[in-house]
Amino acid sequence: MTEHDRQKNLPFLLKPAGKDYLWGGNRLNDDFSKDIPMEPLAETWECSTHPDGPSIVNSGEYKGMLLTDLLHQHPDFLGTHPRNVLSVCNLRDDELPILIKFIDAKQDLSIQVHPDDEYAYNHENGQLGKTEMWYVLDATKDAHLIYGLVHDMDKQSLKKAIAAGNLEKYLQKVSIKKDDVFNVKAGTIHAIGAGALIAEIQESSNLTYRLYDYNRVDKNGKQRELHIDKAIEVADLKASSEPAQPMRVLKYSRGCANEFLYRCKYFQVERLLLNTERIREMLTIATDAKSFMVLLCVDGCGLLYCGNESIPFFKGDCIFIPADSVPMQLHGTAQFLKVNC
């Protein structure tokens, strides 16, 4: 690759797509300065090429382009490993295999489940399934998640509980607090509870099968669609053990600390704590040809330097760093979720 070619592989900010689901609140605008004219603003799809909500490049040479279109022009920005994963899943090698969101749950989300890749491919026109990871950014004192079943069930008993309106007594409630991490594999019956502010990293999928939605109605006075038969077909009906927080070890170096959070075949997530305000050095980062990197700023602010260019970043910003990037430097006091594939 020539130096001219390498200049293409510069980092850029992303502008998210917003979602106004009825359970959302206003914290994504108030706390993360999203400036999206939706009320409620339930989710922002920060890094996405999914057709239901693609992100837009928001800085640099490609500003204003859909991330989908940019990666179609430059599939090398993804790197070799994500493209191999996509080919195994029978998807185009210029699609992003992951989707990164902020979620503001002012009310409880529906009781739901997601299919795995095999089911989604065979029953949903070749789409990906949905395994996801949650990082709790904030939570009210009584906030909780639904995570699996309290004891084994079969399809008939689950269907009977839904029909009788007492499904909730069979679901495992888990209290949550800021900085918790949860792995939610495809097939796990789950829900995010009211009062949770979440960063979610997931497969690039929007397949959700609702089992129960509290008989709520939308702004048009209609109850949202349930998908009971499909949900029961893909759900793991074995009792779930209460999810334990993984052992996490902060590794310190000059100006930063990082800790591993989660890894699956689709993505890896680390937490990166940047603090270079009191030292002269800056943190140097770069990607190799294997994978892109996404830095989701969940707190703080700073500057990212590339040669003579600089990109200011703030809490809530999402930075995409293409594979095989030029070296760059970070300066500031901030916390990121660092995601690659």
For residue 88, what pLDDT band results from cuts at 50, 70 and 90? low
Name the 3-class secondary structure at 31.
coil
Q: Is the Cβ–Cβ distance between 308 and 253 less than 8 Å?
A: no
Q: Does the structure show a pLDDT above 50 at 39?
A: yes
Cα 286 from Cα 198, distance rounded (Å): 27
State the average pLDDT over residues 293-299: 98
Q: 11 or 83: whose pLDDT is higher?
A: 11
Supply the pTM of this predicted model: 0.95
According to the model, what pLDDT value does residue 143 have?
98
Q: Is the Cβ–Cβ distance between 172 and 148 less than 8 Å?
A: yes
Which helix (H) or strand (E) segment is 122 a member of? helix 117-123
Cα 11 from Cα 321, distance rounded (Å): 4
Instruction: Give Rg (Cα) of the chain.
Output: 20
Catalytic sites, residue numbers: 210
For residue 308, what pLDDT band results from cuts at 50, 70 and 90? confident
Identify the DSSP state of 75.
G
Name the 3-class secondary structure at 65.
coil
According to the model, what pLDDT value does residue 1 have?
46
Q: Does the structure show a pLDDT above 50 at 337?
A: yes
- What rounded mean pLDDT belongs to the chain? 93
State the average pLDDT over residues 167-184: 97
State the average pLDDT over residues 32-48: 97
According to the model, what pLDDT value does residue 220 have?
86
Give the tens place of pLDDT for each residue, 205-244: 999 999 999 999 888 889 999 999 999 999 999 999 989 8
| DSSP assignments along 161-198, one per residue | HHHHT-GGGGEEEEE--TT-EEEE-TT--EEEPTTEEE
Instruction: Find all residues with CB under 8 Å of 162, minimum gap 6, and list them.
Output: 211, 212, 228
Phi, psi dihedral angles at 104 (to 5 degrees): -115, 105
Identify the DSSP state of 305.
E
What the chain holds in terms of domains, given with CATH numbers, is: 10-234 (2.60.120.10), 251-340 (2.60.120.10)
| DSSP assignments along 251-266, one per residue | EEETTEEEEEEEE-SS
Q: Which two tokens stand for residue 258?
A: 């990082």
Which helix (H) or strand (E) segment is 132 a member of? strand 132-139
SS (H, E, C) 209-247: EEEECCCCECCCCCECCCCHHHHHHHCCCCECCCCCCCC
Give the Cβ contact number of residue 240 at 10 Å: 17
Q: Is the Cβ–Cβ distance between 256 and 335 less than 8 Å?
A: no
According to the model, what pLDDT value does residue 205 have?
96
Q: Does the structure show a pLDDT above 70 at 114?
A: yes
Give the tens place of pLDDT for each residue, 42-85: 999 999 999 999 999 999 999 999 999 999 999 999 998 876 66
